[in-house]
Structure 1
Amino acid sequence: MFSIYGMTGQVFSGTLEAMNRVYPLARARNTRGVAQEGDEIGVENMATPLQREAVRAYRRMLPDDLERGPLIHAAQIMSHPVTVLNQKNAVADAWRVFQRCGIHQAPVLDDAHRLIGMVNERDLLTVIDIDGEHVLENLQRRVSDVMTSPVVASVPVTDIRRIAAAMLEGGLSAVPIVNESEIIVGIVSRTDVLRAVMTDPPLSLWR
């Protein structure tokens, strides 16, 4: 189950298929999506006929009854607790939080602690210059000025294949995980999905 949250609150709740049909995902600003990172394995994106034939040959040799692997839920791989930012935080302060916590993106909340967006390192670097840990130039911008909104979120029991599909469709680098009270309980990044594939070999995202 997926939800979309914007400045006015939740604007959608439903399945991945319904979300794509009713509220098509726009690729997040300044991010290179999972689909783009993996374009080289798609037959239609191969540069030469030889490369395309190589992928077709690989697919033909896959067994028809390829084991898709165990069902893994977001709750099993998500990172938690989650570092969050307030929309009114100064961009310079947000950058310092990223550096201190070793994170690359964070959910953004409003004053009522509702999820309204996501911000990543690239967003912050559009309005600041840095030298090591020091901010050299600060345009006095707030997180709300550079964050991506609306934001796609999911529930803890969502199959990570569905989350990976949402990342592919929307060019998302991470998906916040919210409970039934719409409180953020974790976050699943592309790194979390890839780590799950690496540590649990039977899991297949190919098909």
Structure 2
Amino acid sequence: MFVVYSPEGQSLAASAQNLSMLRVDPSKRINKIEDAWLDELQPDEKSLLGQSSKALQAYQQNRKESQHRVVVKVLEIMSEPLISIHQQADLAQAFARMAEMKINYLPVLDDRRLIGLLTREQLLRKVLIGDDGALEFGGEKPVFEIMQRQVVTTDLSTDIRQVAQVFTQYNLGALVIMDAFKHPVGIVTRGDLIKRLAKEPPLELYV
């Protein structure tokens, strides 16, 4: 489940993939089969046994493959503890925290409530950085003024293949991870996802 948070609170809950409704055609009338015709049928027992054996082998192979399917939850790859910033902090504080922790995303909190997300890209549009890498201008503005106000989140049990789909579909760089009490506890970025895809055992992207 993916949920969008904003300063106004939870605003949307949706699955990663919308499933279209399945339509089943009305059943057609079937003419009665005469008993005499059924009596003429002579099943080939050897053929039936051969088909049964093939079906059993296919089932066993499919079961074997499904047992080796790797499922990875966001809990396993997210960065924690969550590094965040308060909405009343200024951009200078946000810049310093990003530089110190070497991160590109800062969830914005009001106490423990998630209300926004600040990215390095958003921050750099509003400040001036000197040749020495220090912030020279614009650092006095509050984070609340420039943060992204809608944040897509998910829970700890989400399959990372669904996360990859959402990243691609909505051009996101990060997802904030929420616990059962709707508190932010971690973050997953595109970099985290790529690192896991490069590890063993290999992850099936299409299942």
TM-score (norm 1): 0.71
Question: Which residue number in structure 2 is paired with residue 116 of structure 1?
Answer: 115
C-alpha spacing 1:149/1:200, structure 2 compared with 1 (3 Å): farther
Question: Which residue number in structure 1 is paired with residue 198 of structure 2?
Answer: 198
Residue 108 of structure 2 corresponds to residue 128 of structure 1? no
Question: Which residue number in structure 1 is paired with residue 170 of structure 2?
Answer: 170
1:177–1:184 Cα contact (<8 Å) kept: yes
Tell me how far 1:102 sits from its aligned partner: 1.1
Question: Which residue number in structure 2 is paired with residue 77 of structure 1?
Answer: 77
C-alpha spacing 1:127/1:199, structure 2 compared with 1 (3 Å): same
Tell me how far 1:160 sits from its aligned partner: 0.2
C-alpha spacing 1:206/1:17, structure 2 compared with 1 (3 Å): closer
Matches within 5 A, 1:19-168: 69-110=69-110, 112-131=111-130, 132-138=132-138, 140-168=140-168
- CA deviations on 1:67-106 (whole Å, 9 max, x unpaired) are 8941100001111011101111101110001011111111
C-alpha distance in 1 between matches for 2:142 and 2:135: 15
- Provide the alpha-carbon RMSD of the alignment: 2.3
Decide which moves more: 2-11 or 127-136: 127-136
Question: Which residue number in structure 1 is paired with residue 189 of structure 2?
Answer: 189
Q: Which amino acid aligns with 2:116?
A: G
Secondary structure of the residue that 1:11 maps to in structure 2?
A: strand
Q: Tell which has more relative contact order, 1 or 2 (C-alpha 8 A, sep 6+).
A: 1
Tell me how far 1:133 sits from its aligned partner: 4.1
Q: Report which of the two structures shows the higher radius of gyration computed on alpha carbons.
A: 2
**Structure 1: gaps of 5 or more residues:** 22-64
Residue 180 of structure 2 corresponds to residue 180 of structure 1? yes
Decide which moves more: 163-172 or 133-142: 133-142
TM-score (norm 2): 0.71
- Runs ≥4 residues deviating over 2 A: 65-69, 204-207
**Structure 2: gaps of 5 or more residues:** 21-61
Q: Which amino acid aligns with 2:145?
A: D
Tell me how far 1:148 sits from its aligned partner: 1.1
- CA deviations on 1:112-151 (whole Å, 9 max, x unpaired) are 3211111111111111111234211126321112211211
1:69–1:202 Cα contact (<8 Å) kept: no
% of aligned pairs identical? 28
Decide which moves more: 132-141 or 68-77: 132-141
